[in-house]
Chains A and B, each alone.
Chain A
């Protein structure tokens, strides 16, 4: 799933690298504002959760398998900035420690999966939530819609990047159609799993779901109150 080295030319790789670095820098600041000194352990553990979730492979036919991308899921569960940050950390760790995804393509991967994945997912989620009835039950549906849109959107951005800095002379329309079509199928699976996971978390700990704030009765852990006092 991760773009390897050499897929995009050097200028595109550097440009997406700059976009990714800027995005991660802002996400770091926003996440710290949201989590203060809890940022490092919380974001680290959520990143570990996303990574573990990605280890479950689903057969998608033709002998290949896909896995959860988790951009929309993370954005709904912990907020778009922390979510984007966690996915970026997952991609960084995969590139540096597991050789999954090229080092020069790291910027592209972060831009596509962390930034586009989390923010498009969260944007659609917010829009859907504004339209759907104001109930906790709407949150998983909106999260699923966010995932449904975010996956093909990331694929479309990939196709556009390929038109600008791709290393093969393939008509943009063909790449776009193939990528978006294929990822629409993946997006449906992603949407179903995202909605079900969000729904499961809301059932047990509604206070943990960032996207359900204001809708679910908040239940703050007693211990945290006492320590901060």
Chain B
């Protein structure tokens, strides 16, 4: 794969974490998130330990925290969900007096549940971000291969990762063309135009797949990728 397909999250570096073999990193990440999820949520100090461990890895990777933190916004919808739980959960309630004579009635078990969701989700996102920031996509794919993920699945992922930016850029150009003609792709009023764009994008992607397949056949593809193709 040529240059220019570095993915959005990768942070170039040469630290110990960057150099560690991808399959080891994937296994460690899986072990870490499974442990976090399996930890009872009222073992409060243990989560502090997890955070210190994770931050230790982040520091060792030399990826600045201000690079990772803004990218954690993708868990915000679930934090909102977690924040709503104390209001709707069952069980005994605690009353928090607010200014202006209003009282806030919150479920005790709901508060604990919200804490559990927020802390486990946040640790998981930060850990996954660390993997994505320190590992090239091709390395992740090779790691999955070493972990014996079915070859066909790795191949499909390889093609998706390879053509992701191509297809996304294709869509980007179409959206630019739409906008320059006064169409707002987000507005339901212009959904028919957006849908025609997406339809065209599907046809283009499908036909690109057919061309890629023919090009591969002409180079001797027999259902397996040659060893070096993952690099």
Contacts and interface: CB of A to CB of B under 8 A. Distances in A.
Interface of A: 1-7, 9-10, 13, 24-25, 28, 32, 37-49, 51-53, 55-59, 64, 77, 85-86, 89-90, 92-93, 95-100, 102-105, 167-171, 174, 189, 192-193, 196-201, 203-205, 208, 221, 223-224, 227
B117 A204 contact: no
Nearest to B116: A167
A220 to B, nearest CB: 11
B191 A193 contact: yes
B150 A168 contact: no
B75 interface: yes
5 contacts: A89-B156, A96-B26, A99-B125, A102-B121, A197-B199
Interface of A is mostly: helix
A97 B137 CA distance: 7
Contacts of A55: 168, 171
B124 A104 contact: yes
A5 B140 contact: no
Interface of B: 7-9, 26, 29-30, 33-34, 36-38, 41, 71, 74-75, 77-78, 80, 85, 88-91, 107, 109-110, 113-114, 116-117, 119-121, 123-125, 128-129, 131-132, 137, 140, 144, 150, 152-153, 155-164, 166-168, 170-171, 175, 185-186, 188, 191-192, 194-196, 198-203, 205-206, 208-210, 212-214, 216-217, 221-223, 225
Given A5-B120, A89-B156, 12 more contacts: A1-B77, A5-B123, A43-B159, A44-B157, A46-B206, A55-B168, A99-B9, A99-B128, A104-B124, A197-B199, A227-B214, A227-B217
B8 to A, nearest CB: 7
Interface of B is mostly: helix
Nearest to B32: A103
Contacts of A92: 153, 157
Contact of B124 (A49, A89, A103, A197): A103
Given A32-B152, A37-B221, A6 B158 contact: no
A6 B37 contact: yes
A224 B214 CA distance: 8
A207 B80 CA distance: 44
Contacts of A224: 210, 214
Contacts of B170: 52
Contact of A6 (B109, B116, B209): B116
Contacts of A3: 78
B124 A5 contact: yes
A172 to B, nearest CB: 11
B29 to A, nearest CB: 6
B55 to A, nearest CB: 16
Nearest to A57: B186
A93 B191 contact: no
A46 B110 CA distance: 41
Contact of A28 (B38, B124, B132, B153): B153
A5 B82 CA distance: 13
B209 A193 contact: no
B209 A42 contact: yes
A96 B131 contact: yes
Contact of A10 (B37, B71, B110): B37
A204 B200 contact: yes
Contact of A48 (B131, B163, B203): B163
A103 B164 contact: no
Contact of A4 (B41, B124, B171, B206): B124
A6 B168 CA distance: 31
B116 A99 contact: no
A199 B156 contact: no
Nearest to A37: B223
B146 to A, nearest CB: 14
Contacts of A57: 186
Contacts of A59: 186
